[in-house]
Amino acid sequence: MSQSADVIVIGAGIIGGACADALAARGLQVTVIEQDAIGSGATAAGMGHLVAMDDNAEELALSSWSIRLWNEFVDEHPHSHEYSRCGTIWVASDEEELAAAQAKGSNMRAHGLQCELLDARALYEREPALRPGLAGGLLVGGDGLVYPPKSARILLDRARSRGAQLVAGAVAAIEDRAVLLRDGSRLHADSIVLAAGARCTELLPALPLQAKKGHLAITDRYPGFIRHQLVELGYIKSAHAASGDSVAFNLQPRPTGQILIGSSRQFNASLDAEPAMLSRMLRHAASFVPQLAGLNVLRCWTGLRAASPDGLPLIGPWPARRGLWLATGHEGLGITTSLATAQLLAAQMTDGSVPIPLQPYLPQRFMLAPSNHV
Ligand SMILES: Cc1cc2nc3c(=O)[nH]c(=O)nc-3n(C[C@H](O)[C@H](O)[C@H](O)COP(=O)(O)OP(=O)(O)OC[C@H]3O[C@@H](n4cnc5c(N)ncnc54)[C@H](O)[C@@H]3O)c2cc1C
């Protein structure tokens, strides 16, 4: 193994894997350092929903571009990613939410996404298990899902086939163009990419990131129980609440026939599963799909999302330290936006060009006084 590389990537989650792959594709000598198994952090905990989100123009630009990149990527080996182009139905409970669905559809269509507004009859034709009395929904046909740890592994394998090296170890400190590992060894590189998810603040405490915990549960196999990823339109309000605990109806048909049930949000860095939060989440899901209450749940778990103050990721140089680059803060959308993140980062590091403006994601937007941010 070489002790010096062009770039060191800290973390082999979906973001580190995608960045390593994109940088190696540009001919850089990349070393990835991972303290645990590949894709074992938030990447293993996430739902793997590839979803175009439009809370703001920047989020929609990044997520819709990234979904296009995913479509090309998974087309090579869809089964290896456990990919399904299931589409998303944003479920509208009442006329007010249906109006919101209509506006959402117009916005998404303007970005080239394929959307269909569903009245109540069309909604129940597609998803008969939903509770009666809903107003309709918006079907976004290009959304899909993957099994994220497998996709992270595929990205890492491709990076390695392009010359990247993987080092098993824990980074204890980021230094000037080097990292110190917990075993006392040191690796050097011109550039260091911090892609350690919710753990980034352990290495760079000045980062304005907070851990947002989420619970998920998965059932036994019930093929055909639902066909699309189902998300309540109210999700948008709860997902971006600045404080407080929330649950939202978010149901996914895994290609195995299992049903993945989400999701919750809490500002909490402990990974302990909390029965009260789980039960609140499951009861809420069953209020949308009553037959869920009769299904057998096999497993529940939690994960930590790295949340930034404005909800957008941090992609680019961290001006307070020479040679340090960030690819983090993806909150609940990092699987979706991983591939575009990697392209944005690699383009900045190699003077390349990208099809969307990169300014909204630059970490420097959170720099107040440089002396506070080393
Ligand atoms: C419950 C839940 C549901 C989600 N659902 C979705 C979804 O449906 N769609 C979507 O797009 N996104 C979803 N997300 C968000 C998504 O999972 C994350 O944004 C994404 O996985 C972040 O990837 P990452 O590589 O930045 O972080 P991680 O996957 O956490 O990877 C970071 C890696 O860095 C390693 N590391 C950390 N510190 C060090 C160190 N000091 N030295 C060496 N290695 C280190 C860790 O071991 C880890 O492997 C969800 C998240 C959660 C928690």
Q: What are the pLDDT digits (tens) for 135-167?
A: 999 999 999 999 999 999 999 999 999 999 999
Output the pLDDT for position 224: 97
- Best of 335, 337, 338, 344 to mutate for ligand 1, by most ligand atoms within 8 A of CB? 335
**From the CB of 155, is ligand 1 less than 6 Å away?**
no
Residue 345 has pLDDT above 70, yes or no: yes
Pair 275, 296 in one domain? yes
Kindly report the protein residue whose alpha carbon is nearest to atom 35 of ligand 1: 11
What is the spatial distance between Cα 355 and Cα 19, in angstroms, rounded to a whole number?
Answer: 17
Pair 191, 332 in one domain? yes
Pair 155, 38 in one domain? yes
User: Which of 141, 159, 177 is the endpoint of a domain?
Assistant: 141
Residue in the block written with tokens 């997902």: 239
Output the pLDDT for position 234: 80
Q: Is the peptide bond before 263 cis (omega within 30 degrees of 0)?
A: yes
Burial of 102 (0-12, 13-18, 19+ CB in 10 A): middle
Pair 222, 107 in one domain? no
Nearest in space to 196 (alpha carbons), one of 169, 157, 176: 169
Pair 192, 325 in one domain? yes
**From the CB of 97, is ligand 1 less than 6 Å away?**
no
Domain that holds residue 105: 88-141
Backbone dihedral angles phi then psi of residue 153, each to the nearest 5 degrees: -65, -40
Pair 258, 283 in one domain? yes
Confidence of residue 244 (pLDDT cuts 50, 70, 90): confident
User: How far, in Å, are 2, 17, 43 from residue 192 at the CA level?
Assistant: 15, 14, 21
Nearest in space to 329 (alpha carbons), one of 173, 163, 168, 197: 197
User: Which of 253, 279, 307 is the endpoint of a domain?
Assistant: 307
Largest CA distance in the chain: 64
Residue in the block written with tokens 């506006």: 103
Q: What is the mean pLDDT of residues 163-184?
A: 97
Output the pLDDT for position 36: 98
Q: Which of 201-215, 237-251, 300-314 has the lowest mean pLDDT?
A: 237-251
| Residue 10 covered by a domain | yes
| Residue 96 covered by a domain | yes
| Residue 351 covered by a domain | yes
Output the pLDDT for position 372: 43
Pair 19, 106 in one domain? no
DSSP β-bridge partners for residue 324: 192
| Residue 124 covered by a domain | yes
pLDDT, tens digit, for every residue of 94-145?
Answer: 999 999 999 999 999 998 999 999 999 999 999 999 999 999 999 999 999 9
**From the CB of 329, is ligand 1 less than 6 Å away?**
no
**Contact call for residues 142 and 28 (beta carbons, < 8 A):** no
**From the CB of 330, is ligand 1 less than 6 Å away?**
yes
Pair 156, 295 in one domain? no
C-alpha of residue 39 to centroid of ligand 1, in Å: 7
| Residue 109 covered by a domain | yes
Domain tally for the chain?
A: 3
Show the tokens assigned to 180. Answer: 């110190």
Q: 372 or 122: which carries more pLDDT confidence?
A: 122
**From the CB of 40, is ligand 1 less than 6 Å away?**
yes
Show the tokens assigned to 237. Answer: 């309000």
**From the CB of 33, is ligand 1 less than 6 Å away?**
yes
Q: What is the mean pLDDT of residues 241-264?
A: 91
**From the CB of 231, is ligand 1 less than 6 Å away?**
no
DSSP β-bridge partners for residue 145: 49, 84
Kindly report the protein residue whose alpha carbon is nearest to atom 19 of ligand 1: 334
Residue 368 has pLDDT above 90, yes or no: no
Kindly report the protein residue whose alpha carbon is nearest to atom 2 of ligand 1: 46
| Residue 199 covered by a domain | yes
Pair 236, 302 in one domain? yes
Length of the chain as a residue count = 374
C-alpha of residue 144 to centroid of ligand 1, in Å: 19
| Residue 171 covered by a domain | yes
**From the CB of 334, is ligand 1 less than 6 Å away?**
yes
